[in-house]
Structure 1
Amino acid sequence: MSFQAYLDAVEEKTGLTPRELVDLAHGRGFDASTKAGPILAWLADDYGLGRGHGMAMVHVITKGPTIGTTHVGGTGTHRDASDTLWLDGRATRPQ
C-alpha cells in the first residue's frame, strides 16, 4: 500500500481529510516535537485508527506532506507517484 493510499484510507475511516486531521492535531498542540505515542492514542481513541494508519498521520502531523523518494516512481506495491502527499481529500486530488 502506498503512503498516499494510507491517507486515503484514513479519510474513508474518519470522514475527515488528512489536512483536517492535521489541523485538529495542531490545535491540540501536536507538532514536530511530539512523539508518536500521544498522537497514536488520540487517533485511536477519537477515530478508531490502528497503528499503520495512525503512523501515516503521525508523519504528516510532525513532518508535513513531503516523503522520501525511495518508493516514488517505483514499481513495487509501496510506490507513490510523488514525494508530496495530497492532504486535501481524494475527491480534489489532481490525477
Structure 2
Amino acid sequence: MSFQAYLDAIEDKTGLTPRELVAQAHDRGFGDPATKAGVIVDWLKAEHDLGRGHAMALVHVIRKGPTISSKHVGSAGTHRDESATLWLDGRASRPS
C-alpha cells in the first residue's frame, strides 16, 4: 500500500482529512518532532480507532510534514507513490 493510500484509507475510516487530523494532533501538543510515536499512536487508536500501520503513516506526517522519501516514487513496487509530496486535503479535492 502506498503512503498516499494509507492516508486515503484513514480519511475513509474517520471522515477527516489528513490535514484535519494533523491539526488535531498539533492542538494536543503532538506536533513536536520529539513527541514519541507511541503517544500519537495511542491517541489515534483511542479517539479514531486507527490501527498501528495507519497511525504510523500519520505519525510521519504529524512530525515531519507531507514530504516523503522519493525512494518509491515512480517505482513499480507495492509501496510506490506518485509524488514525494503527500496530499493532505482529502481525496475529493486531490488534483488528477
Please indicate, yes or no, whether the TM-score normalized by the shorter chain is above 0.5.
yes
TM range (shorter): over 0.9
Alpha-carbon deviations, 1:3-39, whole Å to 9, x = none? 0000000000111000000000000000222110100
Identity across matched positions, percent: 71
Matches within 5 A, 1:14-25: 14-25=14-25
Q: TM-score, normalising length from structure 2?
A: 0.97
Aligned alpha-carbon RMSD (Å): 0.5
What is the aligned partner in structure 1 of residue 2 from structure 2? 2
CA shift, 1:61, in A, is 0.3
Distance 2:90 2:22 in 1: 12
Distance 2:73 2:41 in 1: 26
Distance 2:36 2:10 in 1: 20
Name the SS for the 2:58 alignment partner.
helix
CA shift, 1:77, in A, is 1.2
Structure 1 portions without partners, runs of 5+: none
Runs of 4+ that moved beyond 3 A? none
Name the SS for the 1:70 alignment partner.
helix
Distance 2:77 2:38 in 1: 29
CA shift, 1:76, in A, is 1.0
Name the SS for the 1:39 alignment partner.
helix
What is the aligned partner in structure 1 of residue 79 from structure 2? 78
CA shift, 1:70, in A, is 0.8
What is the aligned partner in structure 1 of residue 11 from structure 2? 11
